[in-house]
Chains A and B, each alone.
Chain A
C-alpha cells in the first residue's frame, strides 16, 4: 500500500510573521508524526495546509508523488481530519451525527457499524441523547468515533486529546499506534506527552523556523 505525503519548501506567513519557512516533510505509512511547538507557533495552520484546507502558503505538496492539485480527490478519499472544533451538532444525537459523516464518506452504512463505533469510544448508552446534553469530552468522543467508523489511512488530528479523560487518552494513544502499525499514518498536534514508541516522529515549530528531528 502506498501512502506518502510530502511537502517541499513549505512556508507560511501570517500577519507579517513567518510561522515556518523552508519546511520539508516526508510522511509515510506506519508513522505517527507529532507537530510540536508553543501556542501560536502555527501547528494548526500547518495541519490545515497539509489537509488541503488552506491555500495561502508557499511551497509544494505531493500526495503519493503526485502534485496535490491533481491528486486532491484521491487525497480527500484517504483523509480523516478532526479539527479543534469537534464538528458535532448539539441538536442531533451521536447516532445522527455519525450517520451524516458516514454518508459524506461515501456510503449509507449500517446502524450496527455506528453503534459499534460509539461503543468503542465508550459512549454506549448515549446513542440517542442529543449531543448538546453530553459533556465536552463526550462530544469529542463522538468525533473520535469516526476513526472507527470510516477507515481512512491518513489521520490528521488537531488536539484530539482535548477534554478526554485519562483512560480515554491512553486508549486513544493505543489506537494511534495500532493504526500506524497496520499501515496507516497519523499526523497529530498535542501538548500531551505521547508514549514514546518506534513509530513516533516529531516536528518542532517555533520561533525562527523549524527543525525536524527523529
Chain B
C-alpha cells in the first residue's frame, strides 16, 4: 500500500482495444489452465470422486445382475457409458462453484479478455481431470464385465471424444445454476436430455466394435457432436455466466 513511486497510468494513451487483448489472450488462457489444474491437483478428492463412483457402479453390476459373461458382454457398452456419463455429471456442479463463492468469477467476468475462451480453458481442465481419466479407466472395468478385448480401443476413444462433449454441454448447465445454492438436481435435469445423443452414439460405437461392424461411423458422429459443442458451447457458457452473476 505505501509506495514511493507513483503508479504508471497510461492505459488510455495506447490503443488498448487493438493491441492488448490478442497477445494477452494466450497468456490469460494459459494462466487459467495452469491455475485450475493446480487447484484440482491440490484437492485430489474432487478429482477422485467421479472415478471412484465409476468403478463402484461397474463393480456392483456383475454382483447384482449375474456373473454370466455372455449377458454381461451384451450390456457392457451401455453400462460403461451410462456410468461414465453419470460420473462426469457428478463432478460438474463444482466447475464454477468455487470461483463463484470466493469472488474469482466476477473477476473473470471483468477481464478485458473474451470470457468464452477463459470458460473454455476451465472446461478443458475439467475434461483433462474427469473425462480423460474415465476413458482410460473404462477398459480396465470392461474386463470385469467381460467385454471382448477387441473393443477396448474403441471404448476408450469413444469415451474420450464423448466426455469432451459432455463437459462442454454440462458446463452450460453448471454456469446457469452456479448462482443457486442447491443447483445440483436442476443441473442434471437441464443437462441430461442434451447428453442423450452423445450416449446413443458412444454406446453404439462400442456395440459396433463388438459386433465387428466398424465403429467409424459412430465415432465420426461423436466427433461431429464435439465439433459442434466446441463451436457453440463457449458462447453459451459465457452468456450463462453473465446471467448467473446478474441474478
Contact = CB atoms under 8 A, between A and B. Distances in A.
B16 A87 contact: no
Interface of B: 1-3, 6-13, 16-17, 20-21, 23-24, 27-28, 30-32, 35, 38-39, 42-43, 98, 101-104, 106-113, 118, 242, 245-246
A137 B111 CA distance: 25
A58 interface: no
Q: Which secondary structure characterizes the binding site on chain A?
A: loop
A86 B31 contact: no
Contacts of A73: 16-17, 21, 112
A104 interface: yes
Given A56-B246, A100-B31, A100-B35, A120 B11 contact: no
A147 B42 CA distance: 28
Interface in A20-68: 51-56, 64
B7 A101 contact: no
Interface in A73-110: 73-74, 76-79, 81, 83-92, 96, 99-108
B17 A86 contact: no
In order of increasing CB-CB distance, the 8 nearest A-B pairs are A85-B103, A103-B31, A106-B24, A171-B1, A87-B103, A182-B6, A76-B112, A104-B111
A96 B6 contact: no
B106 A107 contact: no
A164 to B, nearest CB: 9
23 contacts: A1-B12, A51-B110, A53-B109, A53-B110, A54-B246, A76-B111, A79-B110, A81-B110, A87-B104, A91-B39, A96-B35, A100-B31, A101-B107, A103-B27, A104-B107, A106-B20, A106-B21, A106-B113, A120-B1, A148-B7, A151-B11, A178-B3, A178-B7
Contact of A76 (B1, B31, B110): B110
A86 B106 CA distance: 10
B107 A77 contact: no
B103 A3 contact: no
Nearest to A100: B35
A179 B104 CA distance: 24
Given A85-B103, A86-B103, A99-B35, 20 more contacts: A55-B242, A73-B16, A73-B17, A76-B111, A77-B20, A81-B107, A84-B103, A85-B106, A91-B42, A91-B43, A92-B39, A96-B38, A99-B31, A100-B32, A100-B35, A104-B113, A106-B112, A144-B1, A151-B11, A152-B9
A74 B12 contact: yes
B6 to A, nearest CB: 4
B11 A78 contact: yes
B102 A175 contact: no
Q: Which secondary structure characterizes the binding site on chain B?
A: helix
A62 to B, nearest CB: 15
Given A55-B246, A77-B11, A179-B7, A104 B1 contact: no
A79 B111 CA distance: 9
A120 B4 CA distance: 10
Contact of A182 (B1, B7, B108): B7
A175 B1 contact: yes
Nearest to A178: B6
B1 A85 contact: no
Contact of B9 (A1, A53, A54, A96): A1
A63 B158 CA distance: 50
B102 A89 contact: yes
B1 A121 contact: yes
A43 B9 CA distance: 27
B91 to A, nearest CB: 17
A85 B102 contact: yes
A160 to B, nearest CB: 10
A106 B107 CA distance: 13
A120 B110 contact: no
A133 to B, nearest CB: 13
B2 A103 contact: no
Nearest to A139: B102
